[in-house]
Amino acid sequence: QEKTVSGKVTDAKDGSALQGVSVFVKGSTKGTQTGPDGTFKIKVSSGATALTFSSVGFASQDVTIGTGDVFVKLVQNNASLNEVVVIGYGTTRKKDLSGSVTTVSSKDFVKGAITTPEQLISGKVAGVAITSNSGAPGSGSTIRIRGGASLNASNDPLIVVDGMPLDNGGISGVANPLSLINPNDIETFTILKDASATAIYGSRASNGVILITTKKGKSGKPTYSFSSQMSVASIAKKVDVFSADQIRSIVNTKGNASSAALLGSATTDWQNQIYQTALSQDNNLSVSGSLKKLPYRISVGFLNQDGILKTGNLQRTSLGINLSPMLLNNHLKIDLSLKGTYSQSRFANEGAIGSAVTFDPTQSVYSKSNRFGGYWEWLDPATTTGLKSLAPLNPLGLLLQRDDRSKVQRAVGNALIDYKLHFLPDLHALLNVGADLSEGKGTVLVPDSAASAYMRSPDKKHGGVNNQYRQTRQNTYLNFYFNYTKDIKSIKSRVEATAGYEYQDYLTMNYNFGDYTTDGTVISTPIYPFDKPENTLVSFMGRMIYTFDNKYILAGTIRRDGSSKFNPNNRWGTFPSGAFAWKIKEESFLKNVKAISDLKLRVSYGITGQQDGINNYDYISYYNLSGNQAEYQLGNNFYQMYRPGGYYYNRKWEQTATTNVALDYSILNGRVSGSVEYYYKKTTDLLNQINQPAGTNFSNKIVANIGSMENRGVEFTVNLQAIRSKDVTLDLAFNATYNQNKITKLTISDDPNYAGAQFGGISGGVGNTVLINSVGYNRGAFYVYKQVYDPVTNKPIDNLFADKNRDGIVNSADLYQYKGIDPKAFFGFSANLNYKKWNAGFVMRANVGNYVYNNVASSTGTLRNIINPIGFINNGSTDYLNTYFSGSGDKYFLSDYYVQNASFLRMDNINVGYNAGKIFNKRANLRVSANVQNVFVVTKYKGLDPEINGGIDNNFYPRPRTFVLGLNLDF
Amino acid sequence: CAVAVFASCTKKLDLLPTNDVTSAQVYSTPAGYKEAFAKVYGAYALTGNQGPAGNGDVQGIDEGFSDFLRLYFNAQELPTDEAVVAWGDAGIQDFHNMNWSASNPFLTGLYYRSYYQITLCNDFINQSSDANLSSRGITGVSADSIRTYKAEARFLRAYQYAVIMDLFGSGPFVTDKDVIGSATLPTQATRTQLFTYVESELKDLESSLVAPRTNEYGRADKAAAWALLARIYLNAGVYTGTPRYTDAITYSKKVIDAGYSLITNYPQLMLADNNLNTSEFILTINYDGLKTQSYGGTTFLTHAPVGGSMTASNYGISGGWAGYRATKTLPALFPDNTGTADKRSQFYTAGQNPEINDQTVFTDGIPVTKYRNVTRSGANGQSLDFSDIDFPLFRLPEMYLIYAESVLRGGAGGDATTALTYINNLRTRAYGNTNGNINASTLTTDFILDERARELYWEGFRRTDLIRYGKFVDGTYLWPWKGGVKSGTAVAAFRTIYPIPSTDLSSNANLKQNTGY
């Protein structure tokens, strides 16, 4: 039996009628909406007890169904503004933030088969560019916040997990140390961008800080959550190379009799040979609840991911335990967190990628001979090994004849103890101690029949590889601080003060092993059994936040850091910051303007430091004893040589000063919100590898504090609640970042003829580099020759380049700075649509103004590559048809023709989900989802993928296209 | 933190490396001195501290390219008729095309390699001062040995300054008086100043070196200092404008009279067991296929010219690198290309086109087979990947040729008859009999230039010789692809001196670029 309940909903503040409020029978999906006058009517079954009222910007409310009409007053809640946000060494309310802090919580994470945490927020945050390094299982990403502040020191942000800063260094046997954290355990990412937010992290914060918070236990009965994902990945795009018939035709028309004789009669697509359709599954189970007064969360995860390059595989078992007991009458709060991971990887030989592009498609895969494992190889009876010298090796042989396996275990644990003093409850004493222990080890096995290691001993009698590696890391962390928070109502003030001490030590143990052939013949032995690099940071920090009248916020931080990497006189650096925020909305002239929900102006300035990415000890010269193959004969004896190392005594902290001006806005009752920020970062005393004056040091290049660089940019974020209706909600989020980078000083002495520091080695011609850091230009400009084009056909003319300085000679003095590897602007766009029990969404990203050097085209798209004068045939990029380059000479590699516009629009992810609701006698809730990752890319770039870290596209492991099916079961 | 805690907190910031040691530890024993001294010499042979690659001495250049001999060979041979290269490595084609710039990576590498060795020498000389020896308690025979090491380090430094003087004309000047690692910028020494310094330094240290042919293999003695003096005196006119042929005669004669003799068989000069050639070699850079590995040195000289239809195993290597050949003018100096008459003629011609249509095609040009990693008995060297061949920095025939040329150019203290005898000594060995001997009327300076090519080709002399003869840049002597033109062309005169690398100009405000660059 049903009855009808009617009533009216009003705003608690002013009693005005509220339209569009969702009204549901509690515990069901049956619902309606209020009309323009705030009234509603709903049919309910006789068993229904309560109605739920909810509307954006208001706290939802349950009302018991009585006999008469229901009148409800909803209370406005700036829920998002009251959210508590993690900041460095503490938390604050979002509305009280004075720095540039962006939080992405789990509901907004990128969905799909995400195996490494940082991909959860790719495209979600303005100013943060996350580029996956390759398509290999577990491979990491390069994260750049506001362009990165350094040249030769690190540009990676500091990553802090549950209050514990991680080491940015890699771990042997794992492609990416972050991948050892199970993405399913992560609750929020908080990105600190401006100096006001980051300076409390002082020394390591120049490139921004990413705070990761893992999920904690909740009070109540245990709830279980199980999720499972199955995915199928396949190659999205292959390198465009010639078919076997095309190669036969090119060789027969352009080659001579001897090159034609090298052709085979087979038709092999080598890229098809090395790639596979890869299956993966990711299963996670967690339980969360409270055992008496002990909230806990325990999770286990198992990931098994195959690579699309054959043989590659990653298996990761992870365990996460979080305990959050409250003791001493809630005066003592303890957060214990333990994350353990065991991963087993088999790394595919990525050398096969390039080899598959260039290997002759007219040859068959197998040779019908047992030699070289049965794989067809280029032969030369004149050589000792029988292999053609310098010829490429069979791609499938490279892949299947190398067995590179690693086992990595890691445990990260910390305890955050928060003691609220009994006699002064406003004062907290906090202690955070933790350790990050890991061990990576592995073996590389190559059979002695493999062409890649054939007869590699000096006497050419033993081959193969039987090597191992091992590394342990022991990072310890201690942090102790006081936090005092006091509302002083009498003077409308709120004060928060923090002061503390921190200690971080990063100790690595690298075990050295010899190089052996399959049968154990020694190729080389290490001189030392191990090495133990270590560095330590000691810091003191303080922070004061003063809020007056809930309108004006003044914040200041200071941190003093000591690093073992600098000499005792330069060891300490001081990093201050200050910020001011004005909550304009709270002013009387805006307080009652309904159209504006929130408006806040933030201004900050601060200085941060950098010492990551430089050597541990070289502020004085140390002598290094040479290895067994670098001895020198004097008389009849061979001596190991003591070599003094280059050093730079006066090295000190690199400093970045950041100015940030921002406006946070929220209008139309919170339906539209976001921020606009402007920043200017100037890095001075740049840790920059510079040439030492010849004759003054033991190394001609040393990382010294010479140079300066600027980044300036604008970030824009808008979040739009586009549709809010009973059945349909649509959320759109858009962010845009414009960043301009400029190097303003690089060298000790200003020589106008010195172009800058060249880097960016390419494949093709040893020593060729295509990038340069030059004063007056952006970091990572291409440094190339200006290609001359045929005015009629518009085709590039082989080996003809502009004589830019008009001295009659085309030489390196005619190279010029051209474009750059970094995007000028990048964008993220995501949408989430809910319709009844369905939801759908997508994430798109775009980069504009980034260029890529197409090294695949330059090194393989020439006639000389296809008909190699050394006596073999190669496949090559079909770009040859655009240029018909001969491949002779040494300058075509550096043609600006190969520097291509790599602006792109990428559909990262499209997902669809269905909430099946209660199943199993209403004891469990089931959600199912499907999504596609790497759906499509729109770009003018001619190579495989326009999104290449470092701007040089050479044998890139292709990002697969992945189809994922997932289910979540909560019970 | 309280003060005490603060102190303990911050003390942890003093960390030391695990395996590397300080200078005080290295130089505490005579054995440590010898290991540091080995680096002073080894910096010629090796590219770094981990053979064959992985821990290079010189940055900014591929480590395999960065040893002294390979860089020196490129600078001295590639811009001449003796060598062209097929590769496309950055800047390598600039040499033969004679269009190098101040940012050429090979010239930059050579410059920094030379100054690297100078810096090592300066450090070692400092560490070997009498004050340091006595403060470290090293006395007696050990101290005497170290004083000899010190004199040899001074010799090696003088040698490198002579190289800088020849190639770059001028350069920054640093000695053991300068503090390494200080911010003080070195001043630039002119070519004449470098000449004066090298000359006076050699004369000063000569007495501290051991007598000719009495040192350990691979270490310099008095004869090495004399030979270097003879070499710079021969070219003094180029360096300072004032010829010193009389001094060239004096010092070449001192070496010749020190008891050296030619080995019997010229083709055995550059073999895997050429450490047996001590009667002729005055000072060598030592290589070993197992213990002294790099991709430069004689490993480079054995692998780089093997390609085309050449059988790698004939040269004691597992496979060639198909890079370097001579232009046709070098084999044309010999009566035949096969070594039938003049056994010094060591070329490979099968399948090779003497005309170079494309420098980057290995089969255009004539490969040189002078360096072979096989022993006199025909056995392979210890490794097929790395050469055992030692490289003579100085050997007796150069002294004969300096003597003869200096006599012909009017130097005093020598005589034409002796000069002719010396030249015929070389030719008698070359022919295996006296059929190739010449008479006095044939012995001209131009003959000497050709004879130097025949005797010393691919040993790093050609550029200096052509400059001394005025034939390097002008149009009077052309070879295929000189100046980047197939038939050869003159290039600007400033190219007789290489440019100071732009990287150093940007680091040292005291330096001025050479004219023309």
DSSP strand pairing (A851-854 vs A899-901): antiparallel
In a domain, B124, yes or no: yes
Nearest CB neighbour to A562, from listed B10, B38, B115: B10
Confidence of residue B3 (pLDDT cuts 50, 70, 90): very low
CB within 8 Å: A747 and B86:
no
Of B372, B392, B414, the domain-final residue = B372
In a domain, B72, yes or no: yes
Kind and range of the H or E run holding A572: strand A572-583
- In terms of domains, do B176 and B297 share one? no
Of B357, B372, B387, the domain-final residue = B372
Paired tokens of B357: 């249509």
The predicted structure's pLDDT at residue A349: 96
| Residue B451 · residue B442 · CB < 8 Å | no
The predicted structure's pLDDT at residue A767: 84
- pLDDT tens, position by position, B210-220: 999 999 999 99
Measured between beta carbons, which residues in chain B are less than 8 angstroms from residue A644? Answer: 23, 36, 120, 123
- In terms of domains, do B203 and B320 share one? no
The predicted structure's pLDDT at residue B9: 57
User: What ipTM does this complex have?
Assistant: 0.96
CA distance B43 to A273: 46
B153 interfacial to chain A (CB closer than 8 Å): no
- Please give the average pLDDT of every successive group of 10 residues along chain A, which has 971 residues: 83 74 78 82 82 75 81 68 76 83 88 86 91 87 88 87 83 74 90 88 86 84 92 95 97 92 96 96 93 89 96 94 88 92 94 96 94 94 86 96 94 92 89 94 96 90 95 93 91 92 94 95 92 94 92 94 93 94 91 87 93 87 93 96 93 93 90 94 91 94 92 95 88 95 88 86 88 94 96 94 92 93 95 92 96 96 92 95 90 95 96 87 88 96 94 94 94 86
Interface of A with B in 389-418 (CB under 8 A): 389-390
Measured between beta carbons, which residues in chain A are less than 8 angstroms from residue B291? Answer: 628-629, 631, 633, 638
**Burial zone of A50 (CB within 10 Å; 0-12 exposed, 13-18 middle, 19+ buried):** middle
DSSP strand pairing (A952-953 vs A851-854): parallel
Interface of A with B in 804-823 (CB under 8 A): 809-813
User: Residue B102's closest CA among B497, B473, B488?
Assistant: B497
Distance from CA of A598 to the nearest CA of B (A): 42
CB within 8 Å: B318 and A383:
yes
Residue of B nearest to A527 (CA): B19
- Please give the DSSP secondary-structure letter assigned to residue A654: E
Provide the domain count of chain B: 2
Measured between beta carbons, which residues in chain B are less than 8 angstroms from residue A455? Answer: 318
- pLDDT tens, position by position, B61-120: 999 999 999 999 999 999 999 999 999 888 999 999 999 999 999 999 999 999 999 999
The predicted structure's pLDDT at residue B84: 97
Residues in Cβ contact with A169 at an 8 Å cutoff, skipping those fewer than 6 apart: A177, A473, A506, A508
Measured between beta carbons, which residues in chain B are less than 8 angstroms from residue A625? Answer: 19, 35, 49
| Residue A774 · residue A754 · CB < 8 Å | no
The predicted structure's pLDDT at residue A253: 95
The predicted structure's pLDDT at residue A98: 86
Phi-psi region of A123 (alpha: psi -120 to 50; beta: other; left: phi over 0): left
In a domain, B335, yes or no: yes
CB within 8 Å: A700 and B363:
no
In a domain, B393, yes or no: no
Q: Reduce the secondary structure of B89-100 to three states and give it as a string.
A: CCCCHHHHHCCC
Length of chain A counted residue by residue: 971
Predicted TM-score of the model (pTM): 0.90
User: Residue A274's closest CA among A231, A244, A248, A235?
Assistant: A235
B135 interfacial to chain A (CB closer than 8 Å): no
The predicted structure's pLDDT at residue A427: 93
Nearest CB neighbour to B23, from listed A387, A505, A623: A623
In a domain, B79, yes or no: yes
Interface of A with B in 439-458 (CB under 8 A): 455, 458
- In terms of domains, do B91 and B192 share one? yes
CB within 8 Å: B86 and A869:
yes
Paired tokens of B100: 């190098």
Of B340, B372, B404, the domain-final residue = B372
Percent of chain B exceeding pLDDT 70 equals 98
Interface of B with A in 199-238 (CB under 8 A): 216-219
CATH number at residue B157: 1.25.40.390
Interface of A with B in 137-176 (CB under 8 A): none
Q: How many contiguous H segments (helices) and E segments (strands) does chain B have?
A: 18, 6
The predicted structure's pLDDT at residue A179: 76
In a domain, B175, yes or no: yes
CATH number at residue B350: 1.10.3780.10
A616 interfacial to chain B (CB closer than 8 Å): yes
- In terms of domains, do B49 and B195 share one? yes
Interface of B with A in 339-368 (CB under 8 A): 358, 360-363
Measured between beta carbons, which residues in chain B are less than 8 angstroms from residue A529? Answer: none
B485 interfacial to chain A (CB closer than 8 Å): no
- In terms of domains, do B200 and B298 share one? no
CA distance B149 to B139: 14
Nearest CB neighbour to B42, from listed A641, A750, A755: A641
The predicted structure's pLDDT at residue B1: 42
Distance from CA of A485 to the nearest CA of B (A): 22
User: Residue B166's closest CA among B194, B131, B197?
Assistant: B194
* Interface with A, mutate which of B356, B373, B505, B506 (most A CBs under 10 A): B506
The answer on pLDDT for B123 being more than 60 is yes
Helix axes B105-127, B68-77, angle to 10 degrees: 130
- In terms of domains, do B197 and B94 share one? yes
CB within 8 Å: B507 and A692:
yes
Measured between beta carbons, which residues in chain A are less than 8 angstroms from residue B383? Answer: 458-459
Range of the domain at B104: 28-208+496-505
CB within 8 Å: A700 and B9:
no
User: Residue A160's closest CA among A208, A109, A127, A194?
Assistant: A208
* Interface with A, mutate which of B125, B146, B291 (most A CBs under 10 A): B291
Using the structure block, give the residue that is written with the tokens 């970062």: A681
Q: How far is the CA of B319 from the CAs of A387, B160, B353, in angstroms?
A: 9, 33, 21
CA distance A943 to B512: 44
- Please give the DSSP secondary-structure letter assigned to residue A157: P
A530 interfacial to chain B (CB closer than 8 Å): yes
- In terms of domains, do B204 and B351 share one? no
- In terms of domains, do B173 and B304 share one? no
In a domain, B321, yes or no: yes
A510 interfacial to chain B (CB closer than 8 Å): no
B184 interfacial to chain A (CB closer than 8 Å): yes
CB within 8 Å: B35 and A641:
yes
Higher pLDDT, B7 or A856: A856
A522 interfacial to chain B (CB closer than 8 Å): no
The predicted structure's pLDDT at residue B2: 42
Q: Reduce the secondary structure of B400-434 to three states and give it as a string.
A: HHHHHHHHHCCCCCCCHHHHHHHHHHHHHHHHCCH
Measured between beta carbons, which residues in chain B are less than 8 angstroms from residue A810? Answer: 99
CA distance A485 to A194: 23
Taken in order of first residue, the domains within chain A and their CATH numbers are 2-77 (2.60.40.1120)
User: Residue B208's closest CA among B252, B158, B162, B154?
Assistant: B154
Measured between beta carbons, which residues in chain A are less than 8 angstroms from residue B307? Answer: 870
Nearest CB neighbour to B59, from listed A636, A700, A751: A700
The predicted structure's pLDDT at residue B11: 64
CB within 8 Å: B508 and A749:
yes
In a domain, B14, yes or no: no
B52 interfacial to chain A (CB closer than 8 Å): yes
Nearest CB neighbour to A458, from listed B37, B289, B363: B289
The predicted structure's pLDDT at residue A668: 86
B49 interfacial to chain A (CB closer than 8 Å): yes
